[in-house]
């Protein structure tokens, strides 16, 4: 049983408490978790680091949302409404190229340093100059390490000027600035931690430099994540003094811990566990539709997978309906286009069905009448494991033999980003609420070389598409919303027919909470899941 004393826990006590979760099943239930702490079981082994200029994973983005404020955000209940966060207001120049933000007064970082426009400018410049995975979100506006100092500037402590290289749809620019890469970091603190020109990134991998409702207490990769409340948070101090998140991979273990009261929230349950929990008055199930897609990708560096007929055949070798009724029951709906429902121009068209006979015909046309053998990399989580095994079984009906290679989130992502896979099952979550976020990664690949600066999903799968890349680029400068939506609809149909992506489901996250917990916000993306309003009875 996980036990706490009331009041601030020491670091050693927190570690012992976290370790106790792994043995809680062998101990009798004694008491619930403390009123001033939130204890969560979750698989977050995809976190590579904790620097918002580098975070490009779902779990990492959720962590960042608890620790950092952003320039602006959108209303989680109405994503069409863009609102100020660090910025209290903004204006756009007549030519649409200059955005001027007024920075809110009275915000302080966890260090006690005041947050100013210079911190925002530093944060953007830092992300562009570091040029890690998410930097392209800012770079698509013409920002480079050489010009970013001129294009992003603080003209006074309360004024930030952000300039783009050309005129874009204003909402596209603003939505991009709601992304995790636009998190505001403490420039004075990070400059003091900088070593060999690293912008303080080595220090920030295991520390935090934000102004959000929580600060980082401790992170042990694939083990635990501990956050302390910020009592001086500008929107109001969190009611709970700390959050303890423990890596618990087994769904059955999560359920038992939840039912015993050893944890407050379980995040990785299977559909077969939902029904029994519905009868437990101490637990509630919460469904949170996400703009996150489950997809299977085919690396075009593999000459077999690069054959058009093979790409099409694989789209007929996934049993969408079967998985939807079982593995994804309650956790996702069949969705085969790259724009999730709710986005401008999203199509609800699902033309592919499980058809091994059709797949065999296509493979024969490709010169592969006896099928072929490939590997499939997957993150060792629920429901990914079950999906991989289902695809392995359904593909075998057409002679496609799949060897599954499991790994933790970090291992699988590292391999994927190096283009060293055959098949890969992954989730893709929108970085911001504009359709370009998914179009740019599924339907654009400006440079297919191994050393390309931009590495979207099309690049990761070596899909060289100069024509689609040009079309994708044209959509962001189209000011007419109807015409812009039509461009994205055409792109979705082209990707459906031609791409190495087998998009399968749009996710619905199902969270199991103890009923004495309220106020958790489960938003449309993982970086809009927030804890600071949570309370416990």
DSSP string, 288-299: EEEEEEEEEEE-
User: 373 is written with which tokens?
Assistant: 């053998």
Q: Which of 33, 188, 51 is nearest to 109 (CA)?
A: 188
Predicted confidence (pLDDT) at residue 15 exceeds the cutoff of 70 = no
Q: Determine the distance from the C-alpha atom of residue 275 to the mean position of all C-alpha atoms in its chain, rounded to a whole number.
A: 28
> Mean per-residue pLDDT for 236-263?
96
Q: Compute how many other C-beta atoms are within 10 angstroms of the C-beta atom of residue 170.
A: 15
Confidence of residue 246 (pLDDT cuts 50, 70, 90): very high
Q: Is the pLDDT assigned to residue 401 strictly greater than 50?
A: yes
**Are the C-beta atoms of residues 199 and 160 closer than 8 Å to each other?**
no
Distance CA 87, CA 72 (A): 6
Cα–Cα distance, 433 to 414 (Å, whole number): 26
Mind listing the pLDDT tens digit for each residue in 319-363?
Answer: 999 999 999 999 999 999 999 998 999 999 999 999 999 999 999
Q: Tokens standing for 239?
A: 């009611």
Q: With pLDDT > 90 as the criterion, what percentage of the chain qualifies? A: 90
What is the token pair recorded at 23? 């043995």
**For position 31, what pLDDT does the model report?**
55
Given a cut of 60, whether residue 7 has pLDDT beyond it is no
Determine the average pLDDT of the residues in 130-149: 95
Sequence-distant (≥ 6) Cβ neighbours of residue 50 within 8 angstroms: 60, 63, 64, 204, 205, 206, 207, 208, 216, 219
Say whether pLDDT at 19 is over 90.
no
Q: What's the whole-number mean pLDDT along residues 456-460?
A: 97
Residue 280 has pLDDT above 90, yes or no: yes
Cα separations (Å) of 241 from 208, 237, 254, 519?
17, 9, 23, 15
Sign of the CA dihedral with 384 first, then 390, 391, and 392 last: positive
The domains found in the chain, sorted by start residue, are 1-66+212-282+515-537 (3.40.190.10), 69-210 (3.90.76.10), 290-508 (3.10.105.10)
Closest CA to 412 of 385, 442, 374, 441: 385
Question: Residues 435-445: pLDDT tens digits?
Answer: 999 999 999 99
Residues above pLDDT 70, as percent of the chain: 94
Give the DSSP letter of residue 25: G
Name the token pair of 424: 């890969």
Residue 23 has pLDDT above 90, yes or no: no
- Tell me: cis bond preceding 383? Omega within 30 of 0 counts: yes
pLDDT confidence of residue 10? 39
Residue 149 has what pLDDT? 98
CA–CA dist 417, 345 (Å, integer): 28
| 367, 334 Cβ separation under 8 angstroms | no
**pLDDT tier for residue 479 given thresholds of 50, 70 and 90:** confident
Instruction: Find the mean pLDDT for residues 181-195.
Output: 97
Handedness of CA 379, 380, 385, 391 (dihedral sign): positive
Do 440 and 140 meet the contact criterion of CB atoms below 8 Å apart? yes
Residue in this structure with the two tokens 């004393």, named with its chain if needed = 5
Mean pLDDT in the chain? 93
Q: What is the pLDDT confidence band of residue 275, given thresholds at 50, 70 and 90?
A: confident
């Amino acid at each position: 049983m996980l036990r706490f004393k009331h009041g601030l826990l020491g670091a050693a006590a927190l570690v012992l408490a976290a370790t106790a979760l792994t043995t809680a099943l062998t101990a009798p239930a004694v008491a619930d978790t403390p009123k001033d702490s939130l204890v969560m079981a979750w698989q977050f082994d995809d976190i590579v680091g904790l620097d918002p200029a580098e975070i490009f994973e779902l779990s990492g983005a959720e962590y960042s949302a608890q620790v950092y404020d952003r320039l602006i955000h959108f209303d989680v209940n109405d994503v069409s409404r863009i609102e100020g966060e660090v910025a209290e207001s903004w204006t756009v120049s007549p030519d649409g190229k200059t955005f001027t933000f007024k920075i809110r007064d009275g915000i302080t970082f966890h260090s006690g340093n005041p947050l100013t426009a210079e911190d925002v400018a530093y944060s953007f410049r830092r992300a562009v100059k570091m040029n890690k995975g998410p930097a392209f979100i800012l770079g698509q506006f013409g920002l480079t390490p050489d010009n970013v100092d001129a294009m992003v500037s603080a003209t006074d402590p309360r004024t930030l000027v952000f300039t783009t290289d050309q005129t874009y749809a204003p909402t596209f620019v603003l939505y991009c600035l709601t992304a995790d890469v636009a998190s505001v970091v403490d420039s004075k603190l990070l400059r003091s931690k900088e070593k060999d020109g690293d912008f303080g990134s080595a220090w920030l991998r295991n520390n935090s430099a934000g102004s959000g409702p929580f600060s980082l207490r401790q992170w042990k990769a694939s083990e635990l994540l501990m956050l302390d409340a910020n009592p001086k948070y500008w929107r109001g101090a969190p009611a709970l003094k700390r959050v303890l998140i423990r890596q618990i991979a087994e769904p059955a273990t999560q359920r038992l811990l939840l039912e015993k009261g050893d944890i407050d929230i379980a995040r990785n349950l299977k559909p077969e566990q939902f029904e029994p929990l519905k009868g437990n008055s101490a637990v509630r199930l919460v469904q949170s539709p996400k703009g996150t897609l489950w997809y299977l990708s085919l690396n075009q560096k593999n000459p077999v997978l690069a054959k058009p007929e093979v790409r099409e055949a694989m789209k007929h070798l996934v049993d969408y309906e079967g998985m939807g009724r079982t593995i994804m029951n309650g956790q996702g709906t069949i969705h085969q286009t790259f724009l999730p429902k709710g986005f401008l121009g999203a199509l609800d068209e699902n033309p592919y069905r499980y058809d091994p006979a059709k797949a065999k015909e296509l493979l024969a046309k490709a010169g592969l009448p006896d099928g072929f053998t490939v590997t499939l990399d997957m993150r060792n989580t629920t429901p990914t494991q079950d999906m991989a095994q289902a695809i392995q079984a359904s593909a075998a009906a057409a002679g496609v033999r799949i060897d599954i290679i499991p790994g933790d989130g970090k291992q699988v992502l590292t391999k994927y980003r190096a283009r060293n896979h055959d098949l890969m099952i992954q989730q893709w979550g929108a970085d911001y609420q504009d359709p370009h976020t998914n179009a740019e990664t599924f339907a654009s690949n400006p440079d297919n070389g191994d050393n390309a600066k931009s590495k979207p999903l099309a690049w990761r799968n070596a899909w060289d598409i100069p024509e689609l890349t040009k079309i994708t680029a044209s959509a962001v400068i189209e000011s007419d919303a109807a015409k812009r939506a039509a461009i994205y609809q055409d792109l979705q149909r082209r990707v459906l027919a031609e791409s190495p992506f087998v998009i399968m489901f749009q996710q619905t996250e199902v969270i199991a909470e103890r009923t004495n917990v309220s106020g958790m916000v489960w938003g449309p993306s993982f970086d809009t899941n927030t804890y600071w309003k949570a309370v416990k009875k």
